[in-house]
Amino acid sequence: MNKPTFEAIHRSDYQLPDYLVESIDLLFRLGEQHTRVIARSRMHRNTDVTNNKKDLVLYGEKLELVRVSVDGEEIDSGRMVLTDTQLQIIDVPDTFELEVITDINPEANTSLSGLYLSSSIFCTQCEAEGFRRITYYPDRPDVLARFTTRIEADRKKYPVLLSNGNLEEEGQLDDGFHFAQWRDPFPKPSYLFALVGGDLVAEQDVFTTRSGRQVDLFIYTEPRNQGTCGHAMKSLKKSMQWDEEVFGLEYDLDRFMIVAVDDFNMGAMENKGLNIFNSKYVLASPETATDQDYLNIEGVIAHEYFHNWTGNRVTCRDWFQLSLKEGLTVFRDQEFSADMNSRAVQRIKDVRVLRQYQFREDEGPMAHPVRPDTYMEINNFYTVTVYNKGAEVVRMIHTLIGDEYFRKGMDLYFERHDGQAVTCDDFVAAMADSSGRDLTQFKRWYSQAGTPVVQMSQSWSESGEFTLTLRQHTPETPGQVEKRPFHIPVLVGFLDPQGSDMVEALDTEFEKRENSLLLELTENEQSFKFSGLHSRPVVSLLRSFSAPVKIKYERNLQNTTLQMASDSDLFNRWDASFSLSQSIITDLVDQDVTEDKLVIDAAYVEAAKSLLRSDAGDDALTALALQLPEEAYLALSLDNVDPDRLHHVRT
């Protein structure tokens, strides 16, 4: 048996599409083993392309081609070339209507890409390249079209028929079938197409937008799961309100629909107006769901809803730009979760994902930039680097330019690019133009792989001058040996011996952010000088984890316990507790004493008591700060691991 071969795709090879699609009308006649698809597309030659090819190339896989016609004239085999992955039609006019009729077998589609059958429910997954398993089409994200979809199916087996957009018409047919016709007025790429057909029940609600429009909300499940969508519906309405209040983004269709499917393999998918979810991110009941289940549902519902603007209304030019939609939307869902719950706890959870998974990815053979330059298979790049590090890149822009200019940048981004397929560079340009900041060097975060290591040293003079020196270095990664310095925002605070912030009293050139200073590390080594301090400060470095970097500096017990007990930056308070408990446990593991002689340092105990007495008013943070590192994490810092001893010391 021959194994499939993959050809490398390079970002530098991008070319504009030769033909564009104005609109497409789809007709589905659903059958488990045999579904007929008729696609009628109004197409025209792309006038932005020089030396435009006369031939039309369409993508298609696992399809049975029935007929192709251009302007009503059937294309014979002499005018087309058909392969396993493409259909080439020779010499098409500048403007034309293309009709493609295909047959597919949803029941046999075990790839769960395209149209498939899941527990007697017809369902689609078209991101990244699943639409080509439905019909022959220019299946690429920079081809946007308005979709109208008519679905016909057995009305007893499949009483609910859904697709993108607004419901235009539905009715009965003579042969035991019925139909529903949907129209999406907003141009979208084919990866956002969706279809669902099945025996489903809906929980319904209504959301009124800030402009007074009424949006009907539906969450569809199988009948046996009825009554378990209440939390998901509340999360959806909170997401819609938050997006209006924070980013001024209002929902644009007459209805918003969610479908929960047990066998959905992508977790969740943001198809325009018809989000499809794996059931675990929708269904919850107090009898079986944990607190974390409820938080996960809230966050994932928000993420997919937020894609309506960051991903759907403005989408990606090509799949190398995946972080344009995913990194930005992860940032937005993290901010939503922070506003809905504890901001400090949310930030800690986000950073733990980075440190545990993304940093390791940067250290391994699969290290890649946030915006890769090449891939063999795009589905392999739905990674923590593209998503979570991509979100950190957006967060750093937010840190550098501040709330006001970030919101202006978002407004400018949508003003310029609504209805377009664009690049990460376009997003950064909107932020730079709105704020007046030069972000040229900053864009290295999109092109360079690896986690920078920032080393800190300090000096203090009796005259009250304090010097903070930062050095950055990024280890080599596959294909990138030489690394240029990143533009790293470093939020820093100074604590006096009692743990109080000293920044407010400083007369300094650096921008103040509440109790912190914003330093910008742009060279391999920089020194920052501060004067007017009445005592040597304890440095609270990288507050709120202002950049996805590793910090190297000498921690001493006195300063770390002071931060743990008193740091006004709650992330750094947790980080001090985490690092100190890690150090204590690993030291005790290495000590050659019996377990009954193990002694925990009194300074740590006192700092823990201070945490419990803290006036931060965040019980979830206190619980998290006192939570010990997991044994698997602790084992990474030990040269020789004795699992039994590690377990007993930790407990």
* Cβ neighbours, 10 Å, residue 312: 22
Distance (Å, whole) CA 552 – CA 456? 6
Residue 164, classed as helix, strand or coil, is coil
Coil/strand/helix, residue 14 = coil
Residues 340, 298 contacting (CB under 8 angstroms): yes
What CA–CA distance (Å, rounded) separates 295 from 181? 35
In terms of C-beta density within 10 A (0-12 exposed, 13-18 middle, 19 or more buried), how is residue 382 classed?
middle
How does DSSP assign 43-74, residue by residue? EEE-TT-SS--SSEEEE--S-EEEEEEETTEE
Q: How far apart are CA 273 and CA 349, in angstroms?
A: 30
Burial (CB count within 10 angstroms: exposed 0-12, middle 13-18, buried 19+), residue 196: buried
Angstrom distance (rounded) from CA 87 to CA 100: 10
Q: Which two tokens stand for residue 452?
A: 């920078």
**What is the rounded distance in angstroms from the CA atom of residue 476 to the CA atom of residue 71?**
55
The CA distance from 27 to 101, in Å, is: 10
The residues, any chain, with a CB within 8 Å of residue 234's CB and separated by 6 or more, are none
Question: Which of 252, 395, 344 minimizes the C-alpha distance to 611?
Answer: 344
Instruction: Identify which of 249, 192, 251, 185 has the alpha carbon closest to the alpha carbon of residue 216.
Output: 251
| H/E segment holding residue 611 | helix 602-612
Residue 304 annotated as catalytic: yes
Residues 435 and 404: their CA atoms lie apart, in Å, by: 9
Contact between 271 and 373 under an 8 Å Cβ cutoff? The reply is: no
Q: Residue 305 gets which letter from DSSP? A: H
Q: Which of 304, 326, 335, 392 is catalytic?
A: 304
User: Which residues are annotated as catalytic?
Assistant: 304
